[in-house]
A and B are shown apart, each in its own frame.
Chain A
Amino acid sequence: MTRVRTVLLPPALAIVFAALLCAVALLISGDSPLTALRVMITQVGEGTTAIDILNSGAIYYIAGLAVAIGFQMKLFNIGIEGQYRLAACVAAIVGGTLVLPPVLHTIVILLVAMVVGAAWAGIAALLKAFRGVSEVISTIMLNFLATGLIAFLIRPDSFGVLRGNNISTDPIPPSGQFPGISFGSSGTLFGMVFVAALLGLGYAFLLDRTRFGFELKASGESDTAATAGGVNARRMTIIALLMSGAVAGLVGLPELVGRDFAYTLTSPQGYGFTGIAVALLGRNHPFGIALGALLWAFLDKSALALDNVGVPREIVLIMQGSVVLSVVVAYEIVRRYELAAEQRRVAAQLRAASAAPAEEVKA
């Protein structure tokens, strides 16, 4: 009961608060909040929106997981952005070059993406572990480096090809593509959605059932206590950032192996930062991140629908921003309240339990 309240109350409060805020913003700009709400809800059943939400949600979910792995031990991997873009670019190049049987080809592409993501994060990990460089700074810088590196890699002189006025890598042949599930006119669900779900399960298992997950959480909660308990903080830092980077490497793949089949100059950007917001929304919990990712994808799609009825699409940005802020605040308030309540409850139970025996001691 208490647990359910602790887990569900804050996000519910935050969403209600964010909705109110947006309603006010809409009223000020002269639009009807009710119309906006109706449009946002009805759009889900129209066209490919539902499938699109799931597809985008899967991408956001993978990005959120990558961030959450770092968050578990208070590491702020801002570099998801650079890691996934570089990983997708290299994976596209490798996938377009290799000739391999189906399935194996896809697996190799996934592995390459993970290795590149991990390696890119590994630079920040080594700097952090051996030189004490803040991972926040180094990953931001690595994001810029990744942009430059990608631009170099997909130049026609390097690995790119000029197609129209866009530059892209060689397309991945069908043997390396990850088939989705087609729903006809409703769109095609990426196969990678299931990989994302598996990642979530793996994350949950790792965190709750294994020594590694315990050491990760312990380091995040109190690095001094973890060190005294025999956890090697430096090793944990490196492994956590490497894992975060490996998962980040997969962020770009649902679109790469499920829709685009090549990395282009115009391949989407910004998923890494969305991942941070989604991880915050989900409080690093595997299920929470999933809900956060779906909510974020839903809001993204709403922007288009709102635009169609003349409501400014920027309202969605207000909504997304205020949801994240209010979730963070609401969780902190509820956390403090619950801890105080727990202490009172323990004290009260002990008083009740010890009244009788203590009286006997005195007698």
Chain B
Amino acid sequence: MVGSDTGTDAEFAVELTGITKRFPGVVANSDIHLSVRRGEVHALCGENGAGKSTLMKILYGMQQPDEGTIAVDGKPVRFRSPSDAIRAGIGMVHQHFMLADNLTVLENVVLGAEAMHGIGAKARKRIAELSRTVGLDVGHDVLVERLGVADRQRVEILKVLYRGARTVILDEPTAVLVPQEVEELFETVRNMRSEGFTFLFISHKLDEVRAIADSITVIRRGTSVGTADPHTVTTRQLAEMMVGSELPTPSTTDSTVTDREVLRVSGLQLPGEAGGRALLADVDLVVRAGEVLGIAGVEGNGQTELVETIMGMRRAASGTITLSGTDISRATTLQRREAGIGYIPEDRTRHGLLATQPLWVNRILGHQSRPPVSRGGPLGLLDRAAARRDTERIVREFDVRTPGVDVPAAALSGGNQQKLVVGRELSGDPVLLIASHPTRGVDVGAQAGIWAELRRARAAGLAVLLISADLDELIGLSDTIKVMLRGRLVADADPATVTPEELGSAMTGAGGQPGGAGAPPEPPPDPHPDDGVDDGAGGGRHRAADGTGGTQEPRTGESTA
């Protein structure tokens, strides 16, 4: 699967030595060592907040290190800005695309680099050459807004190459792709590698890292904890290097599904704007007490709209929504919440939290009309003491790492913010929980905690509607899976038998009915169960990398729940 290693005597394309970066009060990077050989795909793994982004910003010249040196092609360099890095042949493809939708491919590529080949025939010729390299098949005069996500990504890579990069940093490039597109991207990366390009591949999707990388550097709590050989290391071992402890899995064991219907959605229709394609068409679904119904789908296929329609934030054109036998199709969002719907929104900063308000004020949001935070009455008096007490309970029970309930929500890390939201939405005995990407952007420790809470609530008879882009999470937690495509529920899948690949093809509309292949739900058996992490494969650091943390001093303390 992985191409042959480039010669071991090859010089390093990029070498970072002893990089330390301190922000006031926080050490983001501490003594990081990273050596990338010419012509290899080097993966950088680490949890959210481990310091990957800071390191890449340093390498790309967006920030200057306090200590340590950067060498490119063996020569020490100092980058004061990204343009210095680009001049040295380093390019970065950001996770969030930086393209102008209303410009063509050509215009996007040339924008800001007009001095290189002008904007005319010469530029066009150069782009045509590079398009072959990155596998971009579309015309250069097509507007970027017409391109799919995978092609946009290729345009981003094209932009970087056009500016003369030989080393390309890919920041979480697969986060936005479905499995099939990931495979195509990898094909491109392999081809480019054989043409001599060097890649720094940032990801926390470890299966992908193992599939594409020639060597791996793992970062934990701001420092490099070791390197690993993707041929011999297992995903689990890698993950344990990342977290420094035993890993949780999302799988639920016994079925707790009852026959009591909690949510019934039937014939839900939501027209698109200005006569466009319907956002939701004939959506029918039932969630029972103790059941987790998972919705799989590529983002933008109506999952967000479905959730917001069930929450009453959008009005359906027709169809009914019934909660425990009561028709709530016409109810307001607050009435639906009062009727017992909890809602973990997909974007906690936009929809879940009041960033500058203290935690206990955030506890009130969505519960402002109900005890314990409300005393009721015509004035709708709030019980501030009770809100504080109940926030303290959530902090305790859901392991929110915070010095107190008076700090503003923005001061917490993403994982702890999410735990607070989950705790709040599970307060007040909901009968239905709508969980939209409940562990997106949180670290592994918090993820395990959230999974545990969801499982506990399910066992207690909660009905859960789960939307997630993480197919392992979806398969692991759900009792039933439905696939959503272009606003319709197009297929059912049995989480006991379906594989992520089958789900992926159903999500893109490519494959047929998933779930019949009978593949085992467990991850593929580990070919090298005894083989430890190969330290030093990248010629880097000799550090304890046995997955137990060794002598690393714990900094953030994100241990498993």
Whether a CB of chain B sits under 8 angstroms from the CB of A287 is no
CA separation between A231 and B548, bound complex, in Å?
47
| B contact face: mostly helix, strand, loop, or mixed | loop
Chain A residue contacts of B350, Cβ below 8 A: 222, 224-225
List which A206-248 residues lie within 8 A (CB) of chain B: 208-212, 214-215, 217-218, 221-222, 224-232
Whether a CB of chain B sits under 8 angstroms from the CB of A30 is no
CA separation between A348 and B555, bound complex, in Å?
9
Flag if A343 contacts B334 (CB, 8 Å). no
Whether a CB of chain B sits under 8 angstroms from the CB of A342 is yes
List which B336-357 residues lie within 8 A (CB) of chain A: 336-338, 343, 345, 350-357
Tell me whether A229 and B368 are in contact in the complex, defined as CB-CB below 8 angstroms, given that A221-B354, A342-B407, A349-B403 are known contacts.
yes
CA separation between A343 and B416, bound complex, in Å?
13
Flag if A354 contacts B556 (CB, 8 Å). yes
Tell me whether A211 and B368 are in contact in the complex, defined as CB-CB below 8 angstroms, given that A221-B355, A228-B351, A339-B410 are known contacts.
yes
Chain A residue contacts of B313, Cβ below 8 A: 227-228
Chain B residue contacts of A349, Cβ below 8 A: 403
Flag if A350 contacts B403 (CB, 8 Å). yes
Flag if A214 contacts B368 (CB, 8 Å). yes
Stretch at the interface among A119-127, A293-301, A355-363: A355-363
Instruction: List the A residue with the shortest CB-CB distance to B352.
Output: A225
CA separation between A214 and B401, bound complex, in Å?
25
Chain B residue contacts of A343, Cβ below 8 A: 410-411
Whether a CB of chain B sits under 8 angstroms from the CB of A347 is yes
Whether a CB of chain B sits under 8 angstroms from the CB of A344 is yes
Whether a CB of chain B sits under 8 angstroms from the CB of A353 is yes
Flag if A228 contacts B343 (CB, 8 Å). yes
Whether a CB of chain A sits under 8 angstroms from the CB of B26 is yes
Chain A residue contacts of B285, Cβ below 8 A: none
Whether a CB of chain A sits under 8 angstroms from the CB of B382 is yes
Tell me whether A210 and B556 are in contact in the complex, defined as CB-CB below 8 angstroms, given that A228-B313, A230-B366 are known contacts.
no
Whether a CB of chain A sits under 8 angstroms from the CB of B332 is yes
Flag if A339 contacts B381 (CB, 8 Å). no
Q: Separation in Å of the A177 CB from the closest CB of chain B?
A: 32
Whether a CB of chain B sits under 8 angstroms from the CB of A12 is no
Chain B residue contacts of A259, Cβ below 8 A: none
Tell me whether A228 and B556 are in contact in the complex, defined as CB-CB below 8 angstroms, given that A221-B354, A350-B403 are known contacts.
no
Q: Separation in Å of the A353 CB from the closest CB of chain B?
A: 7
Chain A residue contacts of B332, Cβ below 8 A: 230, 232
Number of contacting residues on A, CB 8 A?
A: 40
Tell me whether A228 and B345 are in contact in the complex, defined as CB-CB below 8 angstroms, given that A210-B382, A222-B354, A342-B408 are known contacts.
yes
Flag if B382 contacts A347 (CB, 8 Å). no
Chain A residue contacts of B110, Cβ below 8 A: none
Whether a CB of chain A sits under 8 angstroms from the CB of B244 is yes
Partner of A351, one of B311, B364, B408, B555: B555
Number of contacting residues on B, CB 8 A?
A: 55
Q: Separation in Å of the B493 CB from the closest CB of chain A?
A: 29
Quick one: which of B338, B364, B382, B554 has the most chain A CB within 10 A? B554
List which B524-561 residues lie within 8 A (CB) of chain A: 548-549, 553-557, 559-560
CA separation between A36 and B336, bound complex, in Å?
63
Q: Separation in Å of the A75 CB from the closest CB of chain B?
A: 17
Flag if B357 contacts A344 (CB, 8 Å). no
Tell me whether A351 and B351 are in contact in the complex, defined as CB-CB below 8 angstroms, given that A210-B381, A228-B345, A346-B403 are known contacts.
no
Whether a CB of chain B sits under 8 angstroms from the CB of A333 is no
Chain B residue contacts of A16, Cβ below 8 A: none
Flag if B26 contacts A344 (CB, 8 Å). yes
Instruction: List the A residue with the shortest CB-CB distance to B350.
Output: A224
Whether a CB of chain A sits under 8 angstroms from the CB of B412 is yes
Q: Separation in Å of the A345 CB from the closest CB of chain B?
A: 7
Chain B residue contacts of A218, Cβ below 8 A: 354, 365
Flag if B403 contacts A357 (CB, 8 Å). no
CA separation between A342 and B410, bound complex, in Å?
9
CA separation between A221 and B548, bound complex, in Å?
43
Partner of A353, one of B381, B411, B557: B557
* Interface CB pairs A-B, < 8 A, 24: A211-B382, A214-B364, A217-B357, A225-B351, A225-B353, A225-B354, A228-B366, A229-B365, A230-B333, A230-B338, A339-B356, A339-B410, A339-B411, A340-B24, A345-B25, A346-B411, A347-B25, A350-B401, A351-B557, A353-B557, A354-B556, A355-B557, A357-B557, A362-B244
A-B pairs, 4 with minimum CB distance: A354-B557, A230-B334, A211-B380, A344-B25
B→A interface (CB under 8 Å): 23-26, 244-245, 311, 313, 332-338, 343, 345, 350-357, 361, 364-366, 368-369, 374, 379-382, 384, 401-403, 407-408, 410-413, 548-549, 553-557, 559-560
